[in-house]
Structure 1
Amino acid sequence: MTTETDQTEEKLSAERLERLNANMARIDELTKRMVAAMGRRKQSDPGLQGPGQDMYVKAAAAYMAEMMSNPAKMIEQQVGYWGKSLKHYAEAQQQLANGKLSPPEDTGPSDPRFKNELWDSNPYFNFIKQQYLHSSEAITQAMDDLPQLEGADKSRVSFFARQITDMLSPTNFLATNPDALTKAVETDGESLVRGLENLVHDIEHNEGDLLVSLADEKAFKVGENIAATEGSVVYRNRMFELIQYKPSTDKVKETPLIIFPPWINKFYIMDLKPKNSLIKWIVDQGYTLFIVSWVNPDETYRDVGIDDYVDDGYLTAINEVKKITKQDQVNAVGYCIAGTTLSMVLSLMEKRGDTSIKSATLFTTLTDFEDAGEMSVFLDDDFVDGIERQVAERGYLHSYFMSRTFSYLRANDLIYAPAIRNYMMGEAPPAFDLLYWNGDSTNLAGRFVVDYLRQLCQQNQFAKGTMEILGETVSLDTVQTPLCAVACETDHIAAWKGSFNGVKQMGSEDKTFIVSQSGHVAGIINPPSKKKYGHYTNPKISGEPDAWMDAADFNEGSWWPRWEKWLESRSGGEIKARKPGIKSHPVLEKAPGTYVLPKEAAE
């Protein structure tokens, strides 16, 4: 005769078996979808998948040379590594011999990847963690201590060695991740099935390639809850849509302001939530604001190069703003790559005697690529040759490759942590507007991306004064426009020191340089209301970057008000606020326009 308890256990067992069978059916269906999605993957050039063999040969040769010339040093490194490993193993064995099911005391540095208490309290997980950290330290030290490698070669070897150690972290594998294992047990494997669903979704979304979703794509809609500052498209050509924003003040400054965002990403990084929107803040300060929304290139833009972006982009946009506002001059802003190109436009205009730009502001902009920061590891011929072959075949560089490249600069934060959350924990990506924008990247026109990488990044032609734009040779020293440059202290894309060195060489007598705390995006999108990141100022723009920083003043809070005060003094008097569009430039549609939308939405 069964008891009530037996019946309850049988019922629970039956329910678990039913869930298991349902999950197995879902896994079978998802596996078929994943195979089908991966079958749609287009082949890409091998040069885009990793560094060329030359780097490995150089690293191996340098290691062998060091081993032959300084064997004592190499033996010392090996002994140090094995000594740490054996010491930890012996300590763990001693704990067990004493009847303690606990690891030895962990005195190593904290690592955000190992937050779960089991990494410190459980002997199994603690041993795996410690062995991984010892191994990573040994590999990193071995690569850093190769005197035969110098400069770019050493930076590349160290960077890709770090990529390998980051990839091999035990947190990235189910069998050695206590968080994922615990959740799998607690959910009877449901978390793993949801994780597989997330994985299949990402592979399908990227046409067979894998790019981890960073944000909930359903949580945001461009033009509704992001990129929602009120405005209108007042001009459009094959390169861009020109948006004019509706004024929020009765009076505005006489001189209009136009922003050129980077065409690697979309302009609404400056117009996320209203409280973080630089665009809304500028409008609220009483400026007639225009912004360029670049087209997302496809194969028909194969032959579009830097000249086209300058002529059909910058020069055209500036002239249209002048017509709409009936002004002879504009103030201009360029962000990242758009700041680089704006700087070349300033030089071009100086050569032509064109005074259309009254003042210029550069956000996180490199103009001298002698020191390209962390991005330099991707600027050698092995990668650039691969890109050149890829765009020769397709006509453009797919956004996937740029997104992946930038993600690897912060792999733990932008690849592995999101992958663990999405695929191993089975959690949905967060509803985070900044990460949504980060995943909404754009393609690059074929000729442009090759010319930019060859002429600017590799050959540094602008800084050397050999760059040709629309038949004119442009250079840093011919930039005479009043200038304000804002760099970011921890920028991994446009290092602040490189930005400083470029601005230092510009010919303008009126130059302001500001370094904001934080990185490429957070340092720029830093509204005063947050009271979060401060900034550094020093009026003397000369000498070495470190000396400039040592003598700089630290200022609490956002740099936005300081910049606005600088801009106001170059924006003329106040006039009645301008409504978007005029008779010759009627409103075409509401902001944010169509170029910023995903292709399926635009169609």
Structure 2
Amino acid sequence: MTQGVSYRLIFDAWMEWVTQLAISPGKQTELAALAGSGMVSFTLRLPGAMVGEGDSWLSKPTEDRRFSSADWAAWPFNAFARAHMVAEDWWLEAARNVPGVPKRTEDEMQFLIRQMADTWSPANIPWLNPTVISRTVQSGGFNFLQGIKNWWEDLDRLLSGAPPAGTEAFVIGSTVATAKGKVILRNDLMELIQYTPVTETVFAEPVLIVPAWIMKYYILDLSRENSLVQWLIARGHTVFMISWKNPGHRDRDISLDDYRQAGVMAALEAVGRVLPDRKIHACGYCLGGTILAIAAAAMAREHDERLASVTLFAAQTDFAEAGEMLLFLDERQIGLLEDLMWDQGYLDTRHMSAAFQVLRSNELIWSRLVRNYILGERDQMTDLGAWNADQTRMPARMHSEYLRGLFLENRLTAGRFAVNGRVVALRDIGTPFFVVATERDHIAPWRSVYKVALFTDTDMTFVLATGGHNVGIVNPPNSGFGSYLIDRRRQGQRYRDPDSWAVGAERRTGSWWVAWQAWLEELSAAERAPPPGMGAPEHGMPPLGDAPGTYVLMP
């Protein structure tokens, strides 16, 4: 009924803040003074806002996305927007520096206040939103009728379990996930895809990509024009990709280490059969990057030298600063999720989706509701949006181990994460790293991703790209979008904190894909080789079928 959210956490945070604020007269006096000065400033600038003076607030569109439209610069809507922002700032200040309130509770309260502010924003109230008023006048109210139609259609799809409107245009294997290849390995957890080369010769060292199992793999093989897979093979790389199984009730006991053994290690073994005695460029995205880092540390401990390099896309190895995902994650929340997963055997897709949307509620919830159900518009579905709607489940045991061992206890960088009964250390990894983070990542904040530099001592290139967790990664060179900071730390150089790194890094325009491919080429042998055959029939591993395989089609 609560969609997996422990409301006791919210209630406890609220009560702790209210109780401490009630016995803090100094903070109360400060807030009263702030409210008074805010009201005076608002009143004094009100006449200027009424006549559109250039120095009055909101005479130009604000950087706040809720009020970025030029319509909000006109009276009286500029006053509505400014009053809302002043009130929001006051409430956020009320949650700061309250004597006796721990930093964690302070962060929780600020998060809750932002959620409430997003909910009650005048942008969400039709008669206070100038864009809605203008559209209503122009259409004679037809926008509301169209909005009701959109709402009814979405409700019908939700109740029937159908995907969102527009996703039917993106068909796996036809519109998206179209790179040619063969499934060369299948086990109870994943399929391994080997992609067909398109060049006469290839780099000797293949690339193995480990995507996150939170979502399906083909975010890296969307439409032809923004497929990282197709971009790599066009430049002479032999590419392998893991396609994870969508777990069900029977998979409840799959562990986090199963994803390492039956996923990463099984894939490395299979690639080694196709290309014997070749080192491998391993790449992991999000949670796939985390498990790849764990596997690489365990391999380094055992003196397994099959890796030529390690690349991490928006992947965290230290979770002490994992952002807002950590705010309401404690024993009570994990206990509730474990009870829920015990009943189902997995974490349902709607719980993961709801958590990610709340992190960006203004963009992913309220703005969308206004556009679709009040303005009567329809968001044009994209290949990335269709992929985002194609969600997967999480096995109960794995998700519990992941939340406790990594998020809650941060064992990997604390020296307490064991593989096969022995602790592993990222510092043991001697292969070069290429690490990509994104500026607006709410799932893996870039400063958290950067902390891999604190726990490794090898050659590392770090990239900070514009965009978010998905858009910042899926950014092909032909998009003409974005820029990135890049800098290289040589082995043995002293550590720099993330802000110092950002000051000294080089800014480049365009896609970071180009820099990564150049880095891979630098670490590869100069001699090109003939393309390998598909699979390894001589080792009992013949092709099992065409890409994209069967696991990606599982509902």
With the length of structure 1 as denominator, give the TM-score of the two structures.
0.83
Q: CA separation in 2, counterparts of 1:495 and 1:60?
A: 30
CA change 1:397–1:207 in 2 (3 A) is farther
SS in 2 for 1:251: coil
**Cross-structure match for 2:85:** 133
Residues 63-212 of structure 1: matches in 2 within 5 Å?
A: 63-66=21-24, 68-84=25-41, 91=47, 106-108=56-58, 110=62, 111-114=64-67, 119-123=72-76, 125-146=77-98, 148-184=100-136, 186-187=138-139, 189-207=141-159
Q: CA deviation at 1:460?
A: 0.6
Determine which of 459, 473, 479 is the counterpart of 2:423: 473
Q: CA separation in 2, counterparts of 1:46 and 1:506?
A: 36
Determine which of 537, 543, 554 is the counterpart of 1:587: 543
**Cross-structure match for 1:527:** 476
Alignment-mate amino acid for residue 547 of structure 2: A
Does 587-596 or 243-252 show the bigger shift?
Answer: 587-596
Alignment-mate amino acid for residue 507 of structure 2: F
RMSD: 2.8
**Cross-structure match for 1:37:** none
**Cross-structure match for 1:276:** 226
| Partner deviation per Cα, 1:402-427 (whole Å, 9 max, x = no partner) | 11211222221111111111111222
**Cross-structure match for 2:240:** 290
Q: CA separation in 1, counterparts of 2:454 and 2:437?
A: 13
Q: CA deviation at 1:569?
A: 3.4
SS in 2 for 1:569: helix
SS in 1 for 2:254: coil
Q: CA deviation at 1:56?
A: 0.8
Alignment-mate amino acid for residue 478 of structure 2: S
Q: CA deviation at 1:366?
A: 0.9
SS in 2 for 1:360: strand
| Partner deviation per Cα, 1:378-410 (whole Å, 9 max, x = no partner) | 433443333222212211111111112112222
Determine which of 508, 513, 531 is the counterpart of 2:462: 513
Q: CA separation in 2, counterparts of 1:245 and 1:53?
A: 51
Q: 1:334 touches 1:361 (CA, 8 Å); kept in 2? A: yes
CA change 1:399–1:461 in 2 (3 A) is same
CA change 1:50–1:597 in 2 (3 A) is farther
CA change 1:88–1:513 in 2 (3 A) is closer
CA change 1:46–1:523 in 2 (3 A) is closer
Q: CA separation in 2, counterparts of 1:324 and 1:299?
A: 34
Alignment-mate amino acid for residue 530 of structure 1: S
SS in 2 for 1:401: helix
Q: CA deviation at 1:465?
A: 1.0
Alignment-mate amino acid for residue 558 of structure 1: S
**Cross-structure match for 2:285:** 335
Q: CA separation in 1, counterparts of 2:75 and 2:310?
A: 58
Is 2:204 aligned against 1:254?
Answer: yes
Q: CA separation in 2, counterparts of 1:54 and 1:403?
A: 25
Residues 426-437 of structure 1: matches in 2 within 5 Å?
A: 426-437=376-387
Q: 1:77 touches 1:142 (CA, 8 Å); kept in 2? A: no
CA change 1:361–1:50 in 2 (3 A) is farther
Q: 1:251 touches 1:286 (CA, 8 Å); kept in 2? A: yes
Alignment-mate amino acid for residue 396 of structure 2: G
Q: CA separation in 1, counterparts of 2:289 and 2:235?
A: 23
Q: How many residues end up aligned between the 2 structures? A: 545
**Cross-structure match for 2:503:** 550
CA change 1:114–1:544 in 2 (3 A) is closer
**Cross-structure match for 2:517:** 564
Structure 2: runs of 5 or more not aligned: none
**Cross-structure match for 1:228:** 178
**Cross-structure match for 1:5:** none
Q: CA separation in 2, counterparts of 1:120 and 1:550?
A: 35
Q: CA deviation at 1:181?
A: 4.4
| Partner deviation per Cα, 1:58-99 (whole Å, 9 max, x = no partner) | 221332233x2344312202313443555577x49x97xxxx
SS in 1 for 2:169: coil
Determine which of 423, 427, 448 is the counterpart of 2:373: 423
SS in 2 for 1:253: coil
Q: 1:260 touches 1:335 (CA, 8 Å); kept in 2? A: yes
Which has more radius of gyration? 1
Residues 438-457 of structure 1: matches in 2 within 5 Å?
A: 438-457=388-407
Alignment-mate amino acid for residue 319 of structure 1: E
| Partner deviation per Cα, 1:97-139 (whole Å, 9 max, x = no partner) | xxx9x9998424724323555544353x444333323322221
Q: CA deviation at 1:448?
A: 0.9
Q: CA separation in 2, counterparts of 1:114 and 1:446?
A: 42
Q: CA deviation at 1:344?
A: 0.6
CA change 1:334–1:198 in 2 (3 A) is same
SS in 2 for 1:250: coil
Alignment-mate amino acid for residue 196 of structure 1: I
SS in 1 for 2:437: strand
Q: 1:253 touches 1:288 (CA, 8 Å); kept in 2? A: yes
Q: CA separation in 2, counterparts of 1:412 and 1:212?
A: 22
- Amino-acid identity (%): 31
Q: CA separation in 1, counterparts of 2:370 and 2:197?
A: 45
Q: 1:241 touches 1:292 (CA, 8 Å); kept in 2? A: yes
Q: CA separation in 1, counterparts of 2:201 and 2:103?
A: 54
Structure 1: runs of 5 or more not aligned: 1-42
Q: CA separation in 1, counterparts of 2:207 and 2:90?
A: 53
Q: CA deviation at 1:258?
A: 0.7
Q: CA deviation at 1:505?
A: 1.0
SS in 2 for 1:379: coil
CA change 1:376–1:236 in 2 (3 A) is same
Is 2:194 aligned against 1:238?
Answer: no
Q: CA separation in 2, counterparts of 1:419 and 1:345?
A: 42
Is 2:552 aligned against 1:596?
Answer: yes
Q: CA separation in 2, counterparts of 1:581 and 1:82?
A: 71
CA change 1:122–1:290 in 2 (3 A) is same
CA change 1:475–1:199 in 2 (3 A) is farther
CA change 1:468–1:82 in 2 (3 A) is same
